[in-house]
Structure 1
Amino acid sequence: MSERKCIGFSALATESSAVLVDMDGCMIASGQPLPGAKDLINLCREHLWLVSNNSSHSADELSHYLRGLGLAIPAQRILLAGELVLEEARARFPDGAAMILARRQLREYARSRGIMETDEKPDVIILTRDVHLDYRRLSLAIKHLSKGVPLLVANPDISHPDMDGDPVPETGSLLAFMKTVLPTLEYEVFGKPEPRLFQCALTQSGAAPEDSLMIGDNPHTDCDGAKAVGIRPFLIGRHANALAPDIATLLSLRVSL
């Protein structure tokens, strides 16, 4: 039996064709860069892909925001669940109109992509992390869903961690509310752990899954999702099975191949 080879994670990342990384809890938390985030960007350069279940921002908006934090990642290498679900809705309902539960900025992005919006008689409902969603619109959405209007969900995350590791409500918490009211609700999820975001990164980077890696802080959405498409995952953060608390520590480790 051959012995397993050990290599520094920094060298492994440099040799990989694509390095995928989650955002919240890995690169930033509570609007602040986390240890090692800038080092990872400088190390991987054009091989780095931000693959996030974020459904609050467009890639352009997020790239500008991150640059202000000293994290320079171009929009074309930022893949987001919010944009993904909007593009899928546009493809499936090219002549229809959508009820979009999202931040104003993401709704403006949807309109820029030719998606017609309505709250009255939608052909589809799109659920994202709408931090300003009020009871009236939520009730109206549930009314439409009870009549069979299809629901497309950006991501299933119940929460993401802030700087102190405390939970910040996510899209999945809004979905849970809907499912409580409508126990037989049918819907389709587009963010991690579903394969679409991972496959987009592989397609756009031209990388094979076996030559890629994923850094995430969620064992289900990041790690299980990556494994399902053949990408090797590395778990960081506060989870009991995490290899390191942050990217800075991960970069200093040796890992087995």
Structure 2
Amino acid sequence: MSEQEQKIALVTGASDGIGKETARQLAQQGLQVLIGSRSLEKGQKVVEAFAAAGLSVGLVQLDVTDRESIEKAAQQVGEQYGRLDVLVNNAGIALDRTPLSEMSIEDFTLTFQTNVIGTFSVTKLFLPLIRKSSQGRIVIVSSRLASLLNMSDENSRYYSVVLPSYAASKAALNALTIHFARELKDSGIKVNAVEPGLTATRYVTLEGAQPVEVGAESSVKYALIGDDGPTGGFFDREGVHVW
């Protein structure tokens, strides 16, 4: 496969958890994957581990809360590859430990700074490179807790899961998904939000959590959709998810 034929993909927050597994699965599909990592040391360990497994990936230092870091990352990708075919906005945090009224303003602000403004900033600053792709794809990792139906329906199994600032930030990402998709519809760039499901990671140890291999499936699926695929939707690995 020539360099022009091989798709270039960037996964943010790819040094751990679902992001790391998303990067692995995309690399296994033959994409040139770039590990977006705030820590170069952690990112390099992922690159080395993948290399030992026969997967060649690149590394980009990327802190989604730091505009200068994002700008430098976009410049690096532009100089090295000239375009970006797939952007998976995976980086995010959950700081909820109390009821919303007791949450610190600092933690609430940091949640939105990372999950919402970070995703918006990465998407905006990489968009010129995505526009140069013949099949641009943007995946925004949301959550079933972003669903207004799940949050408001007392019969929902997720009604009792109270992570209000995290849920609000992910609901905001769903709105960004819709508006980016509407704006970019005529360009052929497809923008979708995905719901990975309760997934066992370093931060999630709840009983019944699925392995990261399953949690990454929705991100990978919608990163690889064809020209006849959807845009502006909210999906889990089985299909359409409720807003």
Query: Which structure has more helix as a fraction of its residues?
Result: 2
Higher relative contact order at CA 8 Å, sep ≥6: structure 1 or structure 2?
A: 1
Query: Which structure has more strand as a fraction of its residues?
Result: 1
- State whether TM-score is above 0.5: no
Q: Please, what TM-score do these two structures have when normalized by structure 2? A: 0.37
